[in-house]
Each structure stands twice: as C-alpha cells, then as structure tokens.
Amino acid sequence: MVIKILKKVRSNYLGYKIGRKILSFPFIINNYFYNKLYDKKIFKTINKFENGKSPIGLDIGVTNLCNAHCIMCPHDRLKNLGTMNWKLYKKIIDNCKRLGIKEVTLSFFGEPLLDKNLIEKIEYAKKNEIRTVFYSNGSLLNSEWAKKIINSGLDEITISFDGATKKTYEKIRKGLKFETTEINVKNLLEMRKKFPICKLRINLVLVELEENKNEKNNF
C-alpha cells in the first residue's frame, strides 16, 4: 500500500520535485542505511541486465557543450546544453568509489575541455583511486591545457582526428582547423617527454567514413 502511494506521488511532477529535494539532503545521502537500500536497487538492476556482473567503468558527461559540428554527430539536435556542477559530480564519484567502479570516462556528447573545472574533476577522481580518461577533439588542447592535464594525473586521453588531410578533416569536423589540432597533438606528445614519470596514454583515432576511408593508411 505504501509503495503504491509513493509511486503515485512520484508520478506527479510536483511530487517528483519534492522527492528529489528531500533525497538531496546530506543527512539522507550520507546515511548508511539509505546507501544500503540505494546500492541494493542498483545491483538488482545490474543483475537483471548483466547476469550479476558488476560494471567496472562509467561514462560521465561532465559537459555536453561542443565547439565542433561534425557531420556524423547528432550533437546539434541536443537541448539543455551546459556543464555538470561540482556537487553532482562529487556525488557520482563518491558513489563510484563505494560501488567499486575502477574507471570513469569524463566525456559523452561534448568537448570536456569546455568544462572550466575539468582539472579539479580529474584530480578528485584520481584522489579516489579511480582510473580517469576522456575523449577530445583536441582543438582546444593548447600548451596551457596540455601542462595542466599532464600534472592532473589523467591516465588516458583519446583524440579524434578524422582525416589525414586538411580538406578531409575540415569537411568532417566542421568548425575546427586541421593545423591547430595537429600542432596541439604534437605539443602534447613533446610535453609528455619532459615529464619522465608521466604515464599518460595518448590515443589518436579516426572514425571511418565515406569521406576519409581512402586516407586510413596515411592516417
């Protein structure tokens, strides 16, 4: 009976907002018993879809802002653009730590370097012993960003570079400049050499499309 009432309240928009407000209070989300019930619900869902196998990684879209208009990406159809606030991010990482998540990817439908607090978010995940990676188009990865990323302890960065020539690259990644991204990638590689203890893994990837499939070998 109680569950039915709660479901009815939750289905109402006002009830939903009130419920979210109540469940955001620190004395609730930091409560041992609440977390036990919360974890039980999470693992019940995991068991339903993953046959009892717990996920080892999580993708967190820290921002869905982007400075490119790539021809294969649906980003232009997204609404409610913005950047994840620190309070929500911290809550997610704290839950990851508690649930044994080993790796987080700080990107989804957006360019992470547009998040002004990206370095702090990387450092907080690393502080909680979580392997941290993200994908980037590399266009904003200037020397200042490169140095900050190396010093942050980031484990891996994957840079999307969808063309071996200026013409192809700029046709696919509209709004970006081939030379700028190329220089940024080379600078990051050179800067990493200056930090012998740096374990940052740098990947360069190409999404095969009709426009660039003849440039795979050159890439």
Q: pLDDT, tens digit, for every residue of 137-166?
A: 999 999 999 999 999 999 999 999 999 999
Rg over alpha carbons for the chain, rounded to the nearest Å, is: 21
Per-residue CA distances from 217 to 163, 164, 165, 201, 214 (Å): 11, 9, 12, 22, 8
Look up tokens 């469940």; give the residue: 23
> CA-to-CA distance for 178 and 162, rounded, in angstroms?
10
148 shares a domain with 107: yes
Per-residue model confidence (pLDDT) at position 90:
96
- The H helix count followed by the E strand count for the chain is 9, 7
128 shares a domain with 142: yes
Which residues fall within 8 angstroms of residue 70, CB to CB, at 6 or more apart? 137, 162, 172, 173, 174
Per-residue model confidence (pLDDT) at position 89:
97
74 shares a domain with 12: no
15 shares a domain with 109: no
101 shares a domain with 21: no
61 shares a domain with 2: no
104 shares a domain with 7: no
The CA-CA-CA angle for residues 29, 30, 32, to 5°, reads: 105
Question: For the chain, which ranges sit under pLDDT 50?
Answer: 2
Per-residue model confidence (pLDDT) at position 63:
96
Kindly report the pTM of this predicted structure: 0.81
Per-residue model confidence (pLDDT) at position 43:
75
89 shares a domain with 2: no
Torsion over CA: 64, 66, 72, 77 (sign): positive
- The rounded mean pLDDT for the chain is 88
Per-residue model confidence (pLDDT) at position 31:
72
* Domain of residue 18, residue span: 1-25
Please count the structural domains in the chain.
2
135 shares a domain with 181: yes
